[in-house]
A and B are shown apart, each in its own frame.
Chain A
Amino acid sequence: MSTPYAKLPAWADYVLIPLINLFVAFVVAGFVVILVGENPLRAAVILVEGAFGRGQGIAFTLFYATTFIFSGLSVAVAAHCGLFNIGGEGQGYIAGLGIGIVCLAFDSVLPWWLTFPIAIIAAAAMGALWALIPAYLQARRGSHIVITTIMFNFIAASVMVYALVGMLKPPGSMAPQTRTFLEGAQLPKLNWVIELFGAKIRSAPFNVSSLLALAMAFLVWVLIWRTRLGYEMRTYGHSPKAARYAGISEIRIIIIAMMISGALAGMMALNPTMGDQHNVALEFVSGAGFVGIAVALMGRLHPVGIVLAAILFGMLYQGGAELAFEMPAISRDMIVIIQGLVILFAGALEHMFRPYVQALFASLSPKSVGMEAVKGKGA
């Protein structure tokens, strides 16, 4: 076991190994499908057709993907700084409070293109604030960020129930949710973009917050690889000791990284509330914050990878809904299993196949794993 994780050609590291991991996760998921007595290949066909077969499906896939881009970026920013932010769920949920207040206040007076920026700021601020306390406790008092962010997920859930039932719910209504937002807080749909390609869409919630997600993906790339702050974050993530030696303030970098991460998680709430349901309801995040973990791991913490992984998970969510319809034995919870398997194989077991890939490369082309670090071809 003394083989160090020696060099592989970059494409093997960033494309081949994640694909192998993904493949294995799907093979295991296939066994679960067999276990409930269905044909996994047919299930896969239904899934992909459901997600990409029609314009309607594509729009839904992209709608889900939007939320996952935000949550994936949130996990990735923290991870670059060596922090595991498992609290995206709570940060996104509590951001719903900010969005709710802004939308209820402004939807009758302002047009959407003025409400939207205010709501973005409110969502990001609430998310960042919810990440601030765990970040401060980690930086200042050494409390483990994983545990505190989990605790804050539960606290957020209680706060939101209290806020929705006690404050935001319209008087006289029984359902614990805000009233429906007026036009001034409803994001315009982007379905026409897909219709340009000749598809017909009856109704799908694909909306302008997707553009915000892409912009954020680009900004995260700039932040992490093109700014001094990003450099400091990566340094701290690689080696806190080296960062300390280089004079980087530990407290500052942890708090900033977590607040950015929390802000991104907060923005995730814009898509389902303003873009789709036009209200803030109980449990509207419904696990998207956790999907971000799988997305970030799958995307290797790189914005491009995250966007692709988010589309993959959007496909699973949309296709999974079709699958549950076509094969009654398979419920939508199949996605949760796949999500878990992806986290297991792309995250915890990411190095499992590496030695074999290395051995393969070494036998095919010794140069590719040698000290000269020959890039490219390999096999």
Chain B
Amino acid sequence: MDFFNAIVQVLDSTIRLSVPLLLACLAGLYSERAGVFDIGLEGKMLVGAFAGAAAASVFHSAYIGLGMAILISVAFALIHGFASITHRGNQIVSGVAINFIAAGSTIMLGQAWFQQGGRTPALAAGERFEAIIWPGADALRGVPILGPIYSELISGHSVLVYLAFLAVPFTWWVLFRTRFGLRLRAVGENPAAVDTAGISVAWLRYRALICTGVLTGIAGAYLSMVQNGGFVKDMTAGKGYIALAALIFAKWKPVNAMFACLLFGFLDAASIRLQGTPLPLIGKVPVQFMQALPYVLTVILLAGFIGKAIPPRAGGVPYVKER
């Protein structure tokens, strides 16, 4: 029974850890499917986290915080669009720039406004998203097997967690069952065809980036208002890049993205859990190995050893009307 409880706990933290990855990964999905590389996911999450926590603590409302997180994150997505769509700049350079601006400005503004070494004030009860306890969760806790699964795994997460997992089928529906989704995918594969059909390539890509901004904003809000109860400097800690890795791992498909993020979340949860405990058969695994595993897996995948990851064809190429 102890073993079972341990597994439930690891799975529970897997869910918690994979939510920001999942939101950021879906965010990247929108922009990359539209043909805009976005390595600025990290930065957009970071500004989202900061804006969310800052607004929540000033206005004493979690929802105002969430709104602000989305707003600022979308603004950064639009900067990326302005550089890489309107001015046809290098998308990767623009993404790198956004990551730096985000990293620097969150710490600096945080220090200037709150004077807590780059942190925002700790969020009180109403200023962060609370866990939702599902009906009967406490009553069923004692039931063997199903009880812990229901009360630990399914119940007891914040609204943003459920939102993240609902975003998966929603994204699938948008991309593969709506006209907007069809056009969005088309603009990532063959923008000239979309242009010929009389649809604005630039406006479509801008809309895709707005979707990206919304989702990274929520991801950031989750980090600072659910997982942590306040903003801490550099709190994204490379999650934007792991999300990017997950996106490649998922071959740019929403449902795969969920599984990839759960896998990477599980590796993270397991590495925390297994710190110092030897595994059967393998012996003691260094924590650093577990931490590096998502990156190693992505490189192996990119090398084409586990199936081939084929990116959207027009990805990274600014669209030029003439020629």
The answer to whether A349 touches B288, judged by C-beta atoms less than 8 angstroms apart, is: no
What residues of B have a CB within 8 angstroms of the CB of A333 in the complex?
103-105, 107-108, 111, 118
A347 adjacent to B286 (CB under 8 Å): no
**CB <8 Å contact, A351 and B89:** yes
Q: Which of A103-150 contact B (CB under 8 A)?
A: 133, 137, 141-144, 146-148, 150
Which residues from B are CB-within-8-Å of A158? 288-289, 291-292, 295
Query: Which among A335, A338, A343 is the interface contact of B93 at CB below 8 angstroms?
Result: A343
Give B149-163 as 1s and 0s: 1 = Cβ < 8 Å from A's Cβ atoms.
000000000000000
Interface contact B94-A347, CB-CB below 8 Å: yes
Which A residues, 306 to 356, have Cβ-Cβ distances below 8 Å to chain B?
329-331, 333-341, 343-344, 347-352
Stretch at the interface among A8-16, A31-39, A198-206, A250-258: A31-39
B109 within 8 Å of A (CB atoms): yes
Is the pair A151, B101 in contact by a Cβ cutoff of 8 Å? no
Q: What are 22 A-B interface contacts by the 8 Å CB criterion? A: A35-B112, A36-B112, A84-B92, A84-B93, A137-B302, A137-B303, A147-B244, A151-B298, A151-B299, A155-B295, A161-B288, A290-B96, A293-B96, A297-B93, A331-B108, A337-B101, A343-B100, A344-B98, A347-B89, A347-B90, A348-B91, A348-B94
Q: Please tell me if B57 contacts chain A, counting CB pairs below 8 Å.
A: no
Residues of chain B with a CB closer than 8 A to A343's CB: 93, 96-97, 100
Among candidates B101, B238, B289, B291, residue contacting A344 with C-beta atoms closer than 8 Å: B101
For residue A1, CB closer than 8 A to chain B, the reply is yes
Q: A23 near B: Cβ within 8 Å? A: no
Q: Which of chain A's residues have a CB closer than 8 A to the CB of B241?
A: 150-151, 154
Contacts of B302 in A (CB 8 A): 137, 141, 143-144, 147-148, 151
B88 & A351 in contact (Cβ 8 Å cutoff): yes
Interface contact tally, CB-CB below 8 A: 156
Contacts of B87 in A (CB 8 A): 348-349, 351-352
Q: Are A337 and B100 in contact (CB under 8 A)?
A: yes
B113 CB contacts on chain A under 8 angstroms? 36
Residues of chain A within 8 A (CB-CB) of B295 are 151-152, 154-155, 158
Question: B203 to chain A: closest CB distance in Å?
Answer: 15
Would you call A173 an interface residue if the criterion is a C-beta within 8 Å of the partner chain's C-beta atoms?
A: no
Q: With CB as the reference atom, state the residue of chain B lying closest to A2.
A: B322
- Which residues of A from 140 to 192 have beta carbons under 8 Å from B? 141-144, 146-148, 150-152, 154-155, 158-159, 161-162, 166
Decide if A47 is an interface residue (CB 8 Å cutoff).
no
- Give A166 to B284 CA distance when docked, in angstroms: 13
* Cα(A340)–Cα(B105), bound, Å: 10
Cβ-based interface call for A86 (8 A): yes
Closest-by-CB residue of A relative to B43 is A340
Q: Are B296 and A155 in contact (CB under 8 A)?
A: yes
**B positions within 8 Å CB-CB of A:** 37, 39, 79, 82-84, 87-94, 96-105, 107-109, 111-113, 118, 238, 241, 244-245, 248, 286, 288-289, 291-292, 295-296, 298-299, 302-304, 311, 321-322
Across the interface, name the chain A residue whose C-beta is closest to B320: A1
Q: Provide the residues of chain B in CB contact with A152, threshold 8 Å.
A: 295, 299
Determine which of A32, A340, A348 lies in contact with B90 in the assembled complex, contact meaning CB atoms within 8 Å.
A348
User: In the bound complex, what is the Cα–Cα distance between A347 and B289 (angstroms)?
Assistant: 35
| Chain B interface, DSSP helix/strand/loop, else mixed | helix
Residues of B within 8 A of A148 (CB): 299, 302
Query: What residues of chain B lie closer than 8 Å to A1, measured between beta carbons?
Result: 321
User: Which of B100, B238, B244 has its CB near the most chain A CB atoms (within 10 A)?
Assistant: B100
**B288 CB contact (under 8 Å) in A159, A297, A340, A344:** A159
Known: A337-B101, A340-B98, A347-B93. A35 touches B88 (CB 8 A): no
Chain A positions near chain B (C-beta within 8 angstroms) = 1-2, 32, 35-37, 84, 86, 133, 137, 141-144, 146-148, 150-152, 154-155, 158-159, 161-162, 166, 290, 293-294, 297, 329-331, 333-341, 343-344, 347-352
Q: Which residues of A contact B244 (CB under 8 A)?
A: 147, 150
Contact B303 A141 (CB under 8 A): yes
Which chain A residues lie closer than 8 Å to B84 at the CB level?
A: 348
**Known interface pairs A32-B108, A151-B295; A348-B100 also in contact (CB < 8 Å):** no
Instruction: Please state if B288 and A337 are interface contacts (CB–CB under 8 Å).
Output: no
Q: Is the CB of A331 within 8 A of B292?
A: no
Tell me if B92 and A155 are in contact (CB < 8 A): no
Q: Among the listed B89, B112, B248, B292, which residue makes an inter-chain contact with A349, where contact means beta carbons less than 8 Å apart?
A: B89
| Contact A35:B101 (CB < 8 A) given known A147-B248, A348-B90, A350-B89 | no
A91 CB, nearest partner CB in chain B, Å: 15
A290 to B109, CA, bound (A): 22
Task: Give the distance to chain B from A72, nearest Cβ to Cβ, in Å.
Answer: 14
Q: Give the chain B neighbours of A146 by CB distance below 8 A.
A: 37, 39, 92
Question: Contact between B104 and A339 (Cβ–Cβ < 8 Å)?
Answer: yes
Q: How far is the CB of A373 from chain B (nearest CB, A)?
A: 23
Question: By the criterion CB–CB under 8 Å, are A341 and B92 in contact?
Answer: no
Of B89, B99, B248, the contact of A348 (CB 8 Å cutoff): B89
CA distance A339 to B103 in the complex (A): 11
Complex Cα distance, B109 from A336, in Å, reads 13
- Among residues of B, the one whose C-beta sits closest to the C-beta of A329 is B112
* Complex contact B291–A331 (CB within 8 A): no
Q: Is the CB of A147 within 8 A of B245?
A: yes
CB proximity of B47 to chain A, nearest CB, Å: 12
- Residues of A near B321 (CB, < 8 A) are 1
A144 and B90: CB pair below 8 A?
no
B245 and A151 form a contact (CB under 8 A): yes
Minimum CB–CB distance for B95 against chain A, Å: 8
Asked if A337 contacts B105 (CB within 8 A), the reply is yes
Distance of A347 Cα from B98 Cα, bound (Å): 12
Q: How far is the CA of A158 from the CA of B92 in the complex (A)?
A: 24
**Residues of chain B lying within 8 A (CB to CB) of residue A297:** 93
A338 to B105, CA, bound (A): 10
Bound-complex Cα distance A96 to B99 (A): 25
Closest Cβ of chain A: how far from B46's Cβ, in Å? Answer: 12
